[in-house]
């Protein structure tokens, strides 16, 4: 679909005001996914259930390619999906809607006044009123159970500026750095989020207090932590918060975060997970106030350790691992109303389902089945409200029977678009690896697949490296979009991904160029034997660790592939170790710094650095980088591109000055996809 057509489809939403972005009314003539169609989907988020369990509020984000931005609006509906209404339609961003105790009013964040502030309105969208007017705004919030107080997250200053040290140089454009981590993911660290609370009288806040009392720590933890890392006790007397109370080099070397209790009555703080050395995050109090559940990893420095469901008896302080006999990681904890069980999601064998753990017996029951991924779960009376996606469908809201697991879609945000699209078949395939194990590999076929024809095939290399290729839906690495371009996509869950046991997960550490690379080749070789695959037209693509995989395979593929694409991949391990930020990751997976000659794991790891094998490169390669990527700095990709050009290998580089480890802006994303398929079509068709 041309941009001009997409611009026209936004017309109705812009009649009220030029900057309003609304739902796209598009017509798809050939039934095939395109980048423009992909960016017309509404994206559901912020799902919240009313206290009486009868209503749901949520947001939908819409994107405008011509205006190169997005906006989010608020919707409400009954818990059975009936009486769905859009209650905001503004040029402002609305986010984090939450029902208030009366089941009639909804609190939410909006940037209508400039910065994100707290507002409220009735469930029909009327009576809109601003509740806060803080300098700098706030990023998320949670009312105390009786709504007499407001817990919220706001940024506070971190470190000293040049102008602080030299007031007579106010126009000096520089930073003075004396420790790590001075930048993180995509920002120079000049602020950190803090949890604050204030009195609330229903219309405004007062008497604001910083729970950390100015300490130089972050809570919630960047870059991904939000309000889920904070929690009110049911009696409103305690705030639990997640924090890694370290700074500088020490912060860069550890994952040892803890759960702290802050008493509103005494102002005192107590570390409730002291001595537990890995990530401890996302505390959730039981409704009866007797228990605290949270997600816990055992080992310091290992960000991909098993995520356990831990439980603490608040009266005695006794702790137990409720998931001790459950083999995989748990996420998205939610208590049952009777405080006897905890719902969670877990990815097992590349499918993410809802489970329930009984706190007395530690018995874990699987609630749902099917080829999909559940992303969240919220108990709502006699049902569960959950979000779910798959490789063939973006996230929608479902009502789930907690006994039978039967799920009924209730949001239907993208029904009209999906009804016009032909999706490629998603097939589960088990491939024998070189060491005799079975590996789950997804194979996705073109929408109008004809087994009598020959198709080019793409090997998709997963990032992480400890990320399962489950039933994910992506707005960049969209598998159905790849298939719609007449490619067969091969997606192996190679060594190093969760969902197949800890041995499978942990084998990859220290062995980046080893067994998992053999797994990749086993998968593509197995599929390439099929009569409908043209083995002379194979491509290999990936980002992050997947980008590293592309660089590594470029020097070790024995002429299997005819085209490579690497996005934000690691190319030179030696340089990467000294230019990334979270050093705990490199220390765990690579074994430590390259100068530690007595460390056998590290010395082996650095032999897998792709830059050492450029002399064996022989295949056209597209390199993509984001200059705001501080996790895998853009010079990694630039070095790879330069090496290819110097060696006379056909190469192209796509550089995004304003993107980080991902690509988030609509026009940048469509440029990414056009460049991606342009390169593949040039060399594989």
Which of the residues are catalytic?
544, 629, 661
Measured distance CA(346)–CA(684) in Å, rounded? 37
Measured distance CA(463)–CA(679) in Å, rounded? 21
Measured distance CA(111)–CA(548) in Å, rounded? 39
- Write out the two tokens for 267: 């102002």
Q: Are 333 and 283 in contact (CB under 8 A)?
A: no
**Residue 176: what are its φ and ψ, rounded to 5°?**
-105, 120
Measured distance CA(165)–CA(506) in Å, rounded? 47
- Write out the two tokens for 402: 């907690």
Containing 551, the helix (H) or strand (E) segment is helix 545-554
3-state percent breakdown (helix, strand, coil) of the chain, nearest 5: 20, 35, 50
- Write out the two tokens for 50: 């009313």
Measured distance CA(527)–CA(508) in Å, rounded? 23
- Write out the two tokens for 120: 């409220």
Q: β-strands 140-143, 149-157: how paired?
A: antiparallel
Measured distance CA(330)–CA(348) in Å, rounded? 10
| DSSP E strand boundaries for 159-214 | 183-184, 187-188, 191-200, 205-210
Tokens 């006897």 identify what position? Answer: 340
The contacts found for 523-527 with CB under 8 angstroms, 24 or more apart, are 523/431, 523/439, 523/441, 523/459, 523/490, 523/492, 523/494, 524/457, 524/459, 524/490, 524/492, 524/560, 525/560, 526/429, 526/431, 526/432, 526/441, 527/429, 527/441, 527/443, 527/457, 527/488, 527/490
Q: Are 53 and 380 in contact (CB under 8 A)?
A: yes
Other CB atoms within a 10 A radius of the CB of residue 600 amount to: 11
Q: Are 554 and 619 in contact (CB under 8 A)?
A: yes
Residue 114 is classified by DSSP as S
Q: What's the farthest any 2 CA atoms get from each other in the chain? A: 76
Q: Are 248 and 180 in contact (CB under 8 A)?
A: yes
Q: Are 109 and 94 in contact (CB under 8 A)?
A: yes
Contacts (Cβ under 8 Å, ≥6 apart) of 286: 234, 292, 293, 335, 339
**What are the residues facing 399 on neighbouring strands?**
385, 408
Contacts (Cβ under 8 Å, ≥6 apart) of 444: 391, 424, 425, 426, 427, 479, 480, 482, 483, 488, 489, 491
Contacts (Cβ under 8 Å, ≥6 apart) of 254: 244, 246, 300, 301, 584
The angle that helices 545-554 and 515-528 make with each other, rounded to 10 degrees, is 70
Q: Which of 565, 677, 667 is nearest to 625 (CA)?
A: 565
Other CB atoms within a 10 A radius of the CB of residue 97 amount to: 26
């Amino acid at each position: 679909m041309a941009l001009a057509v997409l611009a026209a489809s936004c017309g109705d939403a812009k009649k009220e005001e030029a900057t309003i972005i609304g739902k796209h009314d598009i017509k798809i003539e050939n039934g095939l996914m395109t980048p423009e169609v992909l960016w017309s989907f509404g994206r559901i988020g912020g799902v919240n259930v009313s206290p009486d369990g009868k209503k749901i509020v949520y947001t939908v984000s819409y994107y405008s390619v011509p205006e190169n931005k997005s906006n989010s609006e608020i919707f409400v509906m009954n818990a059975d999906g009936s009486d769905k209404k859009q209650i905001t339609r503004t040029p402002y961003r609305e986010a984090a809607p939450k029902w208030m105790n009366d089941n009639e009013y909804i609190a939410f964040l909006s940037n209508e006044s400039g910065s994100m502030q707290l507002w409220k309105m009735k469930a029909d969208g009327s009576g809109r009123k601003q509740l806060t007017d803080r300098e700098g705004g706030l990023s998320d919030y949670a009312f105390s159970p009786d709504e007499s107080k407001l817990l919220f997250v706001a940024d506070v200053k971190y470190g000293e500026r040049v102008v602080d040290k030299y007031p007579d140089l106010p126009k000096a454009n520089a930073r003075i750095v004396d420790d790590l981590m001075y930048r993180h993911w995509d920002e120079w660290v000049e602020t950190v989020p803090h949890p604050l609370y204030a009195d609330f009288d229903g219309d405004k806040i007062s008497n604001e207090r910083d729970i950390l009392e100015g300490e130089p720590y972050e809570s919630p933890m960047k870059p991904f932590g939000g309000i889920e890392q904070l929690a009110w006790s049911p009696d409103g007397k305690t705030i639990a918060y997640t924090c890694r109370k370290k700074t500088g080099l020490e912060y860069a070397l550890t994952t040892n975060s803890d759960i702290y209790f802050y008493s509103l009555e005494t102002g005192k703080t107590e570390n409730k997970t002291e001595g537990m050395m890995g990530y401890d995050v996302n505390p959730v109090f039981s409704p009866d106030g007797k228990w605290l559940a949270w997600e816990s990893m055992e080992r310091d420095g290992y960000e991909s350790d098993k995520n356990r469901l831990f439980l603490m008896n608040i009266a005695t302080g006794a702790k137990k691992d409720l998931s001790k006999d459950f083999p995989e990681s748990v996420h998205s904890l939610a208590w049952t109303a009777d405080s006897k069980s905890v719902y969670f999601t877990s990815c097992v064998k590349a499918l993410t389902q809802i489970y329930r753990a009984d706190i007395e017996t530690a018995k874990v029951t699987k609630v749902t089945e099917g080829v999909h991924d559940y992303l969240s779960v919220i108990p709502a009376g006699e049902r569960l409200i959950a979000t779910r996606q798959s490789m063939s469908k973006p996230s929608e809201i479902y009502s789930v029977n907690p006994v039978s697991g039967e799920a009924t879609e209730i949001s239907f945000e993208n029904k009209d678009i999906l009804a016009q699209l032909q999706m490629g078949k998603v097939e589960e395939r088990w491939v024998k690896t070189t060491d005799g194990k079975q590996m789950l590999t997804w194979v996705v076929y073109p929408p109008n697949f004809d087994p009598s024809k020959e198709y080019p095939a793409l090997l998709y290399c997963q990032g992480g490296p400890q990320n399962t290729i489950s039933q994910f839906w992506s707005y960049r690495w969209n598998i159905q979009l790849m298939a719609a371009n007449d490619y067969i996509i091969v997606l192996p869950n190679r060594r190093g991904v969760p969902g197949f046991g800890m041995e499978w997960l942990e084998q990859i550490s220290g062995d980046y160029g080893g067994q998992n690379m053999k797994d990749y080749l086993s998968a593509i070789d197995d599929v390439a034997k099929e009569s409908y695959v043209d083995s002379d037209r194979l491509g290999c693509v990936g980002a992050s660790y997947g980008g590293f995989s592309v660089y590594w395979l470029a020097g070790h593929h024995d002429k299997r592939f005819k085209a490579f694409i690497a996005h934000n991949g690691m190319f030179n391990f030696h340089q990467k170790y000294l230019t990334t930020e979270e050093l705990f990751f490199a220390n765990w997976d690579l074994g430590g710094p390259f100068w530690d000659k007595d460390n056998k794991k590290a010395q082996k790891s650095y032999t897998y650095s792709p830059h050492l094998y450029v002399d064996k490169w022989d295949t056209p390669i597209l390199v993509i980088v984001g200059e705001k990527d501080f996790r895998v700095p853009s010079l990694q990709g630039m070095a790879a591109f330069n090496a290819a050009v110097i060696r006379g290998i056909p190469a192209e580089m796509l550089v995004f000055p304003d993107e980080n480890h991902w690509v988030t802006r609509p026009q940048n994303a469509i440029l990414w996809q056009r460049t991606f398929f342009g390169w593949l079509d040039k060399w594989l068709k």
